[in-house]
Chains A and B, each alone.
Chain A
Amino acid sequence: MDISKLGIFEIKSLLLKREVSCTELVKAYIERAERLNGILNCFITINRESALIEAKQTDEIIQKNPDGIRPLDGLPIAIKDIFVTRNIRTTCGSKILGNFVPPFDATVVRRLRDAGAIIFGKLNMDEFAMGSSNENSYFGPVKNPFDLSRSPGGSSGGSAAAVAAGLTPASVGTDTGGSIRQPAAFCGIVGMKPSYGRISRYGMIAFSSSLDQAGPMCRNVRDCAILLESIAGNDPKDSTTMSTPVPHYTEWIVGDPSEITVGILRPDTYEGVNPEVLSAYQNVVNLFAKHNIPITEIELPHIKYAVAVYYLIATSEASSNLARYDGVRYGFRSGEFGNLREMYIKTRMEGFGDEVKRRIILGTFALSSGYYDAFFRKASQVRRLIANDFYKAFSKVNTIIMPVTPDVAFRLGEKVSDPLSMYLSDIFTIPVNLAGLPAISMPAGRNREGLPIGVQFIGKPFDEHTLLNTAAFYERESMCMNILNEVNL
């Protein structure tokens, strides 16, 4: 059986029709993952034994109870290695957690399991989700299935590549400054960053607590709705989740154009953007216009400051969030030290990669005595201005269309030595995180070299359902998901 083009919905149908057993599916995915991991390096951990045991149990449940099937019963899924999984090694792409086997499940993991999914693998990522190319993983870079010399993007690069290449039917990633949407764009899949507070962060290893948000990465909009519905909602273990009810997202993917009002930025906002990316974006806007969807020009005057704000807030929070990796309670401890202080320093020096160190140093600076006001606090004030820009725009429209990235997937190694230019490539994704908004990244065709280009739809807070309707409309009218037929591994 060819599983490489299956999404969640297809798998559910196959299981319901008893055309395949869960065990067969899990086996097939594990075998495929093991076979292709040498090429793509998507997986950090493949969880063969316990996944097969769970599959067998699920088969029995389905056998006994064919009607009472749970929403994701029997679905094999691999998720970003940022979610802690009970008794399955969880590394966060770092040497410092290289041997960490958590004694508990993240809420996202718990919900996936409760919905019947079987987690068979943990996917590669930039160390602590810090990066835009997946080159900052201790476990080596992931390759882009469209071009093996290219990056799949980051930090959820393993997830994006694995979904695109059919190594998993879907995945859950995290997005702090674009880490779902940018790799989704680079790999031609659908990636959604929900509103901040929509999905529990409990057990999701923190990079920047006020920005991090989990989200689905899928082969189509419907799968995205199914997965979001399963993992979203208030969690008593996460004070920053909202109690706003979770709509039945699967009922919102009708793609009704009359529900959509679009806002776009003035063309000069996009100076310096790759012309092929820009024309793909323009084509998307044109498609909406063709269907008589109202399009309004909006202004977001402060988003040009977003990268600067982000690299203060995210690094400050990270410098604190990563202080717990000290070699005392879990994870890596350096082998040589004379005293406690040396143990700390050597453990962290050997356990963290360069990008993580750079961000810890920067964040430590932004919070340190004498600089807090001018850096961390100032950034938090500009963050408010950026959020207010969006709220103002959303008084006129319900969807903002923007490119995801200024360019297509980087060549591996292209930006490694120039962190600032790597940071600047996140200029269109970061503002959304700062404002806590939901956004969905959709394929918008390919460039001359065949590399995917992405476009994002940004929505109002907790208005994911409208966004899914917009995405479903666009998906149907553009046939954009055909792009995945081009991946044949």
Chain B
Amino acid sequence: MNYEAVIGLEVHAQLKTRSKIFCSCPNEFGANPNTNVCPVCLGMPGTLPVLNRFAVELAVRAALALNCTVHRESRFARKNYFYPDLPKGYQITQYDRPVATDGFVEIETEKGLKRIRIKRIHLEEDAGKDLHDISPDKSYIDYNRSGVPLIEIVTEPDISTPEEASKYLRTLRNILMYLDVCDGNMEEGSLRCDANISVRKSGSSELGTKTEIKNLNSFRFVEKALACEIERHIGMLERGERIEQQTMLYDSKENITRPMRSKEESHDYRYFEEPDLLPLVLTEQDIRTYGEDICELPHQKKMRYTGELGLTPYEAEILVQDKGVAEFFEECALLLKEPKQIASWIINDYMRELNARKISIKQSPVTPHKLVSLIKQVAEKKITLNMAKEVFVILFEEGGDVQEIINRKGFTVVNDSDEILKNIREIIGKHPDELSRYKKGNQNLIGFFIGELMKRMKGRIDPKAARELVKTELDKS
């Protein structure tokens, strides 16, 4: 029997605002526990929420970039449940009137582009954090995260495989990072994912019973947890067992999904209109203004890179993975009309150095100007590629000026072919044995002669030119 999975994702993205959504405490990760709190985000009696304009702006920006309809009027609601990290006993969120609905994201699959529909995007507040590892019999709560602005992005159940799910998540994360809406840091919880999943017989139009897997906080976990859960569903269906609608957690150590232990009494959240906030009304002008800050998105860049700039899809894909890298590339490409060469430098050398140092391109000491002037030196045959790579590492390690390093290292290229030929002839003269073996057909020996030439000329020669000259000279001899 063949089965297919029906998957929908709910992604929570923390918004990159300065202050929290309903109060003026800083929205920052990593502060000392309970230092970024005030009466409002601690849910003290009598306190009231006041909505952050920039949180609204970022939500609208994301919604527009994700092709959603942004609603002129939306509302806040209270979602009521008890949990110690939830200081008011309810979460302020949006329920039946979210800020945006009906969008989509396109992901690349083996079968081409696939459209994942977005059902809704709504604004809400984050909860605090329970700390369980401090003591065996107590939990502790830090409310710094309480009131951090979130958007929840909910897809339609358009995803069919774990791979598609993780692809969607990568694509979405990248878009949100491009938009400067979210920093996308999954380790710090800036982007979190829950999945709804059901399994049915292939071709069936009826949906199976769905389960929810909570807290899938890396791309790998999304794939593995979904694969586990699909397998579990199929196993149960095969055995004729009934699938129970429940909330699961993924155990990465055991690579299994298991039901959450805390029995949530029921999922009756008793949503109702938040009386402390008025309807959120956006004018056409507001929406237009908030949309002005939408930059070129990764898939749009990719199209331009492969079209206009002639990069391969592989190169383009790598460059657009990180907005900083893409911007760096474009700056370079403005300075020097050699996109292929620049792309190659960035993908091979630059990213290797970044990874080795675990820094982002914005933190790198090598500016587009420096990289471009280095590439120019090679193009103009003033230094060799090998010299350039050496200079590049020095630029990374010590900083400094490209020309100054070249001068300091005494890097020059001998372009005078008479001088090169003179050297080649002398080498050939000193190695008659090698010459005769070469003549007898050992073509590999050309490398020996090039090596000798390089040694003799201290690498100050373009290897490609050297090879040609050596070959001609050997064949003449």
Q: A202 and B270 in contact (CB under 8 A), knowing A320-B90, A323-B90? A: no
Contact of A323 among B51, B80, B275, B277 (CB under 8 A): B80
Query: Is there contact, CB below 8 Å, between B272 and A376?
Result: yes
Q: Can you list, as one digit per residue, whether each of B48-66 has a CB less than 8 Å from chain A (1) or not (0)?
A: 1111000000000000000
| Cα A100 to Cα B50 with chains together (Å) | 24
Query: Is there contact, CB below 8 Å, between B268 and A203?
Result: no
Query: Is there contact, CB below 8 Å, between A202 and B46?
Result: yes
Kindly list chain A residues whose C-beta atoms are within 8 Å of the C-beta of B273.
380
Q: A238 and B45 in contact (CB under 8 A), knowing A317-B275, A320-B80? A: no
Which residues 262-280 in B have Cβ within 8 Å of A in the complex?
268, 270-273, 275-278
Instruction: State the Cβ distance, B260 to closest chain A Cβ, in Å.
Output: 14
Interface size on A, residues (CB 8 A): 44
Kindly list chain B residues whose C-beta atoms are within 8 Å of the C-beta of A340.
84, 139
Starting from the known contacts A240-B277, A323-B89, 15 additional A-B residue pairs (CB-CB under 8 Å) come to: A90-B45, A102-B45, A203-B47, A239-B277, A323-B88, A324-B88, A324-B89, A328-B84, A329-B87, A340-B139, A344-B82, A367-B271, A367-B272, A369-B270, A380-B273
Selected interface stretch from A58-66, A204-212, A423-431: A204-212
Query: Is there contact, CB below 8 Å, between A100 and B272?
Result: no
Query: Is there contact, CB below 8 Å, between A206 and B45?
Result: yes
Of all chain B residues, the one with the shortest Cβ separation from A90 is B45
Contact of A240 among B51, B270, B276 (CB under 8 A): B276
Instruction: State the Cβ distance, A193 to closest chain B Cβ, in Å.
Output: 17
For the complex of A and B, list the 10 residue pairs with the smallest distance between their C-beta atoms, beginning with the closest: A323-B89, A367-B270, A209-B275, A210-B275, A203-B46, A205-B45, A369-B268, A324-B43, A205-B46, A324-B88
Kindly list chain B residues whose C-beta atoms are within 8 Å of the C-beta of A230.
none
Query: Is there contact, CB below 8 Å, between B46 and A239?
Result: no
Assess whether A326 is interfacial by the CB under 8 Å rule.
Answer: yes
| Cα A210 to Cα B278 with chains together (Å) | 10
Query: Is there contact, CB below 8 Å, between A102 and B80?
Result: no
Kindly list chain B residues whose C-beta atoms are within 8 Å of the C-beta of A208.
275
Instruction: State the Cβ distance, A243 to closest chain B Cβ, in Å.
Output: 12
| Cα A317 to Cα B275 with chains together (Å) | 8
Could you name 29 residue pairs across A and B whose Cβ atoms are closer than 8 Å? Answer: A103-B44, A104-B44, A106-B46, A201-B48, A202-B46, A202-B47, A203-B46, A204-B46, A208-B275, A209-B276, A210-B275, A239-B277, A320-B78, A320-B90, A323-B82, A324-B45, A324-B89, A328-B87, A328-B141, A329-B42, A329-B43, A329-B44, A329-B87, A340-B84, A367-B80, A368-B270, A369-B268, A372-B271, A372-B272
Which residues 203-225 in A have Cβ within 8 Å of B in the complex?
203-206, 208-210
| Cα A66 to Cα B351 with chains together (Å) | 73
Query: Is there contact, CB below 8 Å, between A320 and B46?
Result: no
Assess whether B33 is interfacial by the CB under 8 Å rule.
Answer: no
Interface size on B, residues (CB 8 A): 31
Assess whether A330 is interfacial by the CB under 8 Å rule.
Answer: yes
Query: Is there contact, CB below 8 Å, between B272 and A84?
Result: no
Of all chain A residues, the one with the shortest Cβ separation from B39 is A104
Assess whether A97 is interfacial by the CB under 8 Å rule.
Answer: yes
Q: A239 and B48 in contact (CB under 8 A), knowing A104-B39, A367-B80? A: yes
Query: Is there contact, CB below 8 Å, between A316 and B272?
Result: yes
Assess whether A92 is interfacial by the CB under 8 Å rule.
Answer: yes
Q: Which of A90, A328, A344, A364 has the most CB of B within 10 A?
A: A328
Which residues 302-360 in A have Cβ within 8 Å of B in the complex?
316-317, 319-320, 322-324, 326, 328-330, 340, 344
Assess whether A236 is interfacial by the CB under 8 Å rule.
Answer: yes
Assess whether A476 is interfacial by the CB under 8 Å rule.
Answer: no
Query: Is there contact, CB below 8 Å, between B84 and A100?
Result: no
Q: Can you list, as one digit per residue, whether each of B18-45 has a CB less than 8 Å from chain A (1) or not (0)?
A: 0000000000000000000001001111
Kindly list chain A residues whose C-beta atoms are within 8 Å of the C-beta of B88.
323-324
Which residues 398-424 in B have Cβ within 8 Å of A in the complex?
none
Query: Is there contact, CB below 8 Å, between A84 and B46?
Result: yes
Kindly list chain B residues whose C-beta atoms are within 8 Å of the C-beta of A376.
272
Interface residues of B (CB under 8 A from A): 39, 42-51, 78, 80, 82, 84, 87-90, 139, 141, 143, 268, 270-273, 275-278
Instruction: State the Cβ distance, B308 to closest chain A Cβ, in Å.
Output: 48
Assess whether A237 is interfacial by the CB under 8 Å rule.
Answer: yes
Query: Is there contact, CB below 8 Å, between A206 and B39?
Result: no
Kindly list chain B residues whose C-beta atoms are within 8 Å of the C-beta of A320.
78, 80, 89-90, 270, 272
Contact of B276 among A92, A100, A239, A367 (CB under 8 A): A239
Of all chain A residues, the one with the shortest Cβ separation from B82 is A344
Of all chain B residues, the one with the shortest Cβ separation from A369 is B268
Instruction: State the Cβ distance, B463 to closest chain A Cβ, in Å.
Output: 70
Of all chain A residues, the one with the shortest Cβ separation from B139 is A340
| Cα A102 to Cα B40 with chains together (Å) | 12
| Cα A320 to Cα B89 with chains together (Å) | 7
Contact of B49 among A84, A239, A324, A368 (CB under 8 A): A239
Instruction: State the Cβ distance, A191 to closest chain B Cβ, in Å.
Output: 21
Kindly list chain B residues whose C-beta atoms are within 8 Å of the C-beta of A326.
82, 84, 89
Kindly list chain B residues whose C-beta atoms are within 8 Å of the C-beta of A330.
44-45
Which residues 177-233 in A have Cβ within 8 Å of B in the complex?
201-206, 208-210
Which residues 79-108 in A have Cβ within 8 Å of B in the complex?
83-84, 90, 92, 97, 100, 102-104, 106
Query: Is there contact, CB below 8 Å, between A92 and B45?
Result: yes
| Cα A344 to Cα B271 with chains together (Å) | 21
| Cα A380 to Cα B89 with chains together (Å) | 23
| Cα A237 to Cα B84 with chains together (Å) | 25
Kindly list chain B residues whose C-beta atoms are within 8 Å of the C-beta of A238.
48, 50
Instruction: State the Cβ distance, A88 to closest chain B Cβ, in Å.
Output: 13
Kindly list chain A residues whose C-beta atoms are within 8 Å of the C-beta of B43.
324, 329
Contact of A97 among B45, B50, B51, B139 (CB under 8 A): B45
| Cα A326 to Cα B42 with chains together (Å) | 12
| Cα A469 to Cα B270 with chains together (Å) | 44
Of all chain B residues, the one with the shortest Cβ separation from A331 is B45
| Cα A381 to Cα B139 with chains together (Å) | 44
Of all chain A residues, the one with the shortest Cβ separation from B42 is A329
| Cα A326 to Cα B46 with chains together (Å) | 15
Q: Which of B42, B50, B88, B270 has the most CB of A within 10 A?
A: B270
Kindly list chain B residues whose C-beta atoms are within 8 Å of the C-beta of A367.
80, 270-272
Kindly list chain B residues whose C-beta atoms are within 8 Å of the C-beta of A102.
39, 44-46
Of all chain B residues, the one with the shortest Cβ separation from A323 is B89
| Cα A403 to Cα B275 with chains together (Å) | 29
Of all chain A residues, the one with the shortest Cβ separation from B265 is A341
| Cα A100 to Cα B42 with chains together (Å) | 14
| Cα A441 to Cα B44 with chains together (Å) | 32
Kindly list chain B residues whose C-beta atoms are within 8 Å of the C-beta of A364.
270
Kindly list chain B residues whose C-beta atoms are within 8 Å of the C-beta of A380.
273
Of all chain A residues, the one with the shortest Cβ separation from B89 is A323
